[in-house]
């Protein structure tokens, strides 16, 4: 498994809008419908990536802890589902149900949303404040599938806590690492 780092786009970047299918409901969901006035976390994930599988329980725990505090959490899969059928919309709905994702899991079929966010890997995280201005882009925590460090979500949790307390997250942000987004063509 080749590891790809996230692109560290400039802090302050505005969240690109989107309207994407939520396979588990069949509804099209948009950023402005799902965003929070406190903080919005956009995560690029997929079903088959070992890095995402490694942190899935941690993502659910993170969402369960912070969605009740008014943080919006949105997951997006942008992988080429033809080349990677485990990432198809049907399989996405199955995984969301199986893992009890409390957040919407959206399908970026055209891959335009991943390109707009300059997402490069799964998982890739983008935390926006209440004005949809980027305040954190980096790793969930230091855990990786083979390093033995427990999944805590400490980096993103610290960033979310800072935003909820009216502060800026630390400027020292470590890129996420995962599988590359599986681009079409």
Show me where the domains of the chain are located.
Answer: 4-180
CATH number for the domain formed by residue range(s) 4-180: 3.40.30.10
- Write out pLDDT tens, residues 11-35: 999 999 999 999 999 999 999 999 9
Residue 96 CA, chain-centre distance (Å), reads 14
Would you tell me the crossing angle of helices 154-164 and 50-66 to the nearest 10 degrees?
30
Cα 109 to Cα 60: distance, rounded to the nearest angstrom? 24
H runs (alpha helix) in 17-126: 31-34, 50-66, 89-98, 112-117
- Write out pLDDT tens, residues 64-89: 999 999 999 999 999 999 999 999 99
Q: Please give the share of the chain, as a percent, with pLDDT higher than 70.
A: 99
Token pair listed for 99: 């893992």
More confident residue, 2 or 26: 26
Q: What is the band of 3 on the pLDDT scale with cuts at 50, 70, 90?
A: confident
Q: What is the mean pLDDT of residues 108-130?
A: 97
In the three-class reduction of DSSP (H, G, I as helix; E, B as strand; rest coil), residue 180 is classed as strand
Token pair listed for 93: 């709905």
What does residue 94 show for φ and ψ, rounded to 5 degrees? Answer: -65, -45
- Point out which residues pair with 92 in neighbouring strands: none
Token pair listed for 105: 């899991």
Q: What is the band of 2 on the pLDDT scale with cuts at 50, 70, 90?
A: low
Q: What is the CA radius of gyration of the chain?
A: 15
H runs (alpha helix) in 16-81: 31-34, 50-66
pLDDT at 53 over 80: yes
Half-sphere exposure of 55 toward its Cβ, with a 13 Å CA cutoff?
30
In the three-class reduction of DSSP (H, G, I as helix; E, B as strand; rest coil), residue 65 is classed as helix
Sign of CA dihedral 87, 61, 54, 73: positive
């Amino acid at each position: 498994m080749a590891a790809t780092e996230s692109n560290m786009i400039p802090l302050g970047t505005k969240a690109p809008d989107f309207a994407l299918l939520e396979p588990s409901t069949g509804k099209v969901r948009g950023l402005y419908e799902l965003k929070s006035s406190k903080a919005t976390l956009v995560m690029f994930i997929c079903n088959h990536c070992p890095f995402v599988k490694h942190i899935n329980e941690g993502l659910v725990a993170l969402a369960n802890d912070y969605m009740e505090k008014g943080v919006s959490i949105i997951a997006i899969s942008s992988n080429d589902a033809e080349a990677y059928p485990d990432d198809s919309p049907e399989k996405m709905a199955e995984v969301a149900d199986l893992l009890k994702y409390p957040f919407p899991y959206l399908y970026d079929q055209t891959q335009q949303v991943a390109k707009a966010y300059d997402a490069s890997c799964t998982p890739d995280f983008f935390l926006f404040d209440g004005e949809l201005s980027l305040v954190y882009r980096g790793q969930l925590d230091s855990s990786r599938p083979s390093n033995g460090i427990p999944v805590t979500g400490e980096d993103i949790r610290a960033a979310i806590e800072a935003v909820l307390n009216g502060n800026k997250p630390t400027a020292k942000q470590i890129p996420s690492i995962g599988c590359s987004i599986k681009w079409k063509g």
